[in-house]
Amino acid sequence: MAILASAALYAKPLLGFNTHLSQPPVASAGVAYYRKGDARYEELRKGFNKRIDKFPQVIAYCTSTLGVSEAVQYAGATKLPVAIKSGGHCMEGFSCNDGGIVINLSGLNKAALLHGETLVTGPGATLANLYELLLPKGRIIPGGSCAGVGIGGLTLGGGYGVLGRKFGLTCDSLQEVTMVDGQGNIISSANDQELLWACRGGGNGNFGIITSMTFKTHPAPATLQSYRFKSFRVNTERARNILQPWFAAVGKLPPACFSAYVLNGKTVYILLTNAETEDAAVADMVRRLSQISDKTTQTKPQALAAALKVFYGRQEPLYFKNASAGLYTNFDQIALCIDKAIEVVLATPGMIYQVNTLGGNIQRLEFEAASAFPHRTYPYFSELQTYWETPKQAPRLLERFQQVQSIFAGQGISAQYRNYPDINFSNWEAAYFGNNYQRLQQVKNKYDPDNTFRSEQSIRNSH
């Protein structure tokens, strides 16, 4: 069972604030309010992406479910739109807004492992926090690799990483949530399985604010081994001639393995990880990938905690635009357009094109039936990344970024991963949510009929 504020479950606490915007609300148990000029406003306003610069009217820093409920009621009384921030890593800045209220959940970060196998955590706990809690006890949930990502946003959009093919998406391990709805009511998914279905991959910032999450954990693999394959000074033809056989090879990956193809500058980098002991299938995979690469290196099997830290990434805010560039069934889907995309990437320093493996146990039928994540039939997920150092570099790189996205769209690539949004996707409803969008709208209607929780690409109410 999730940890709930049981005495107040399903009830609204009494409002204790002045709703006149000229006066900020008064801090109370579980929530503190900040406006421009106040201490911590800038700290709480900023996210991981320095490209995004939004200025909310009010920031509510919450440390309890009751505090979140009060903040939502304040937003309703003042007609302020609500954005929800846990880790602040949303690639398009949907976790902040201009002129509204941001409900900051980074203080809801406590986590505990109950009965040796059930994780109960607040949405503000980061992956690094959770791995440090779980791994010494021999347990794991299949999360991502970026250390500072909050578990809330990661899970609600799906959540994949190097262990996803072995255990499923992060959302597949989610068992229960506590949520504050658009009226400030405190809800448990134990009483609504449709809400749990929606929270398993239906996106964040849509129906309410998740304040507690209960996960099934899994026995942690003892080790993780990595293999790296590099090819240097590639041109368009060589990059394609590595990508196509990579698709063919990793289509037969064992579930304990993950792979990624990365075109960064004029270097192609292939990563292969294995969470079990090497067997004939893995050895054959290493042989096949070595044949198409210039250099092969490998680590010894490392303890999982140490191996995951290699992928933690940079922790400080950066200027960047990253986004989903399509989910694929096979190489044939991009065969007619990939040369054009590669040409742009090769001509644009700071741009990276990456394709990752999904598949494995992510495709289990019971996971598909129990979750709103709509793209399980696709075994490959691609992403486009662009980084820069100064704001003046942004316009050219963003233009090139959109050029690549248009190339894929022109080829009919339409399925996209909600956790890697792009503000320029024209048909984002179908791209992110597929055939589940109308069903998700019904959850929206039930819990947020006034559209209190909204962003540029949040689920809309149906009327």
Rounded to an integer, the average pLDDT of 448-458 is 96
pLDDT of residue 163: 96
Token couple for 395: 């316009």
Average confidence (pLDDT) over 404-426: 97
Model confidence at 9, pLDDT cuts 50, 70, 90, reads: very low
Residue 146 pLDDT:
86
Residues 94-103, mean pLDDT to the nearest whole number: 96
pLDDT, tens digit (0-9, with 9 covering 90-100), for 67-86:
999 999 999 999 999 999 99
**pLDDT band, very low/low/confident/very high, at 107 (cuts 50, 70, 90):** very high
In a domain, 74, yes or no: no
438 belongs to a structural domain: no
Query: Does residue 216 form part of some domain?
Result: no
Find the mean pLDDT for residues 259-272.
97
Name the token pair of 60. 């509510």
Total domains in the fold of the chain: 1
Give the distance from CA 426 to its chain's centroid: 20
Length of the chain: 463
**347-402 pLDDT tens trace:** 999 999 999 999 999 999 999 999 999 999 999 999 999 999 999 999 999 999 99
At 401 the three-state DSSP class reads helix
Classify 394 as helix, strand or coil.
helix
Eight-class DSSP state of 333: G
**Res 23: pLDDT:** 58
Least confident of 135-149, 359-373, 406-420: 135-149
Q: What is the rounded CA–CA span in Å between residue 358 and residue 162?
A: 9
Whether 319 is in a domain gets the answer: yes
* 459, 374 Cβ separation under 8 angstroms: no
Confidence tier at 10 by pLDDT (50, 70, 90): very low
pLDDT at residue 88, rounded to an integer: 86
Higher pLDDT among residues 164 and 278, named by residue: 164
Domain extent at residue 375: 223-432
pLDDT at 405 over 90: yes
Q: State residue 4's pLDDT score.
A: 35
- Residue-level pLDDT at 18: 52
Q: Residue 1's pLDDT is what? A: 35
CATH number at residue 294: 3.40.462.20
In this prediction, residue 22 has a pLDDT band, given cuts at 50, 70 and 90, of very low
d(CA 24, CA 28): 12
Lowest model confidence (mean pLDDT) among 57-66, 266-275, 315-324: 315-324
User: What is the CA 359 to chain-centroid distance, rounded?
Assistant: 17
352 domain residue, yes or no = yes
Residue 290 has pLDDT above 80, yes or no: yes
- 27 — pLDDT class (breaks 50, 70, 90): low
Indicate yes or no: pTM above 0.75: yes
For the stretch 177-210, pLDDT in tens is 999 999 999 999 999 999 999 999 998 999 999 9
Question: Does 272 reside within a domain?
Answer: yes
Cα–Cα distance for residue pair 25/185, rounded to 1 Å: 19
pLDDT at 215 over 50: yes
Q: What is the pLDDT of residue 3?
A: 34
Report yes or no: 411 and 382 within 8 Å, Cβ to Cβ.
Answer: no
Distances (CA, A) of 401 to 124, 367, 398: 31, 33, 5
Please check whether residue 363 lies inside any domain of the structure: yes
Please give the Cα distance from 332 to 248 (Å, whole number): 11
How far apart are alpha carbons 213 and 204 in whole angstroms? 13
Tokens of 426: 């024209």
CB-CB contact of 102 with 85 (8 Å):
yes
Q: What is the pLDDT, as a whole number, of residue 118? A: 98
The rounded mean pLDDT for the chain is 93
Whether residue 39 lies inside any domain: the answer is: no
Non-local CB neighbours of 396 within 8 Å, separated by 6+ positions: none
H-type alpha helices, 3-148 = 41-45, 65-78, 127-134
User: Which range, 11-20, 122-131, 141-150, has the best average confidence (pLDDT)?
Assistant: 122-131
State residue 463's pLDDT score. Answer: 76
